[in-house]
Chains A and B, each alone.
Chain A
Amino acid sequence: SVLTQSPGTLSLSPGERATLSCRASQSVRTNYLAWYQQKPGQAPRLLISGASTRATGIPDRFSGGGSGTDFTLTISRLEPEDFAVYYCHQYGFGRDTFGQGTRLEIK
């Protein structure tokens, strides 16, 4: 299943709301869809799993939603540290794939 993220780049200001999209070419089984944040030179950090469950220690301004083939990551009010690249990932059945990423940059 191919995961397509949009937009490729999102330019916003701190305090604004960010909505990132991830569309799958086939339905994601049991909604095993995760979101990660990656900053330059760092490993990814898990934000959301199971489409909507926040990982331990992730602030509640991050939320995930969707099902089937359409998923979203929403950051309700952007903080300076949120500007990074975000990836979606479908997992759990031995044929994992990742989206190509959305770069969230400061406007």
Chain B
Amino acid sequence: QVHLVQSGAEVTKPGASVKVSCMASGYTFINYDIEWVRQVPGQGFEWMGYMNPDNGKTGYAQKFQGRVTMTRDTSINTAYMELYSLRSEDTAVYYCARYDTRQRNGFDMWGQGTMVTVSS
């Protein structure tokens, strides 16, 4: 069974950084991009960027360029998203999702989400 399991909730201060992990199981990790999307509670979704686990290639939304890094460790089938210089507006649920760039059939599996709270 395909699963994406994310790390637990984080509470952090303005100006700090946070690193969220996303562990994949039940499929070949390097065959699907990992996408990162966030959702401010009670609001819609905001796409942050993607990472190709096979070659490490990344693409970031312009809004987050210079403030986000997406990486992976293929030995443990885990992707990471690190967001820097946090501000209160970054308080949100962060999701990873997988995307098949060959089938191009949307984000067909999502992690359970990681709540990140930025507060002084």
Contact = CB atoms under 8 A, between A and B. Distances in A.
Contacts, number: 62
A94 B107 contact: no
Interface in B66-81: none
A1 to B, nearest CB: 12
Interface of B: 35, 37, 43-47, 50, 59, 61, 95, 99, 104-113
- The secondary structure that dominates the B interface is strand
Nearest to B46: A98
A44 B50 CA distance: 17
Sorting the interface of chain A by its residue count into under 10, 10 to 19, 20 to 34 or 35 or more gives 20 to 34
Given A43-B113, A91-B99, A97 B108 contact: no
Interface stretch (A15-23, A49-57, A66-74, A75-83): A49-57
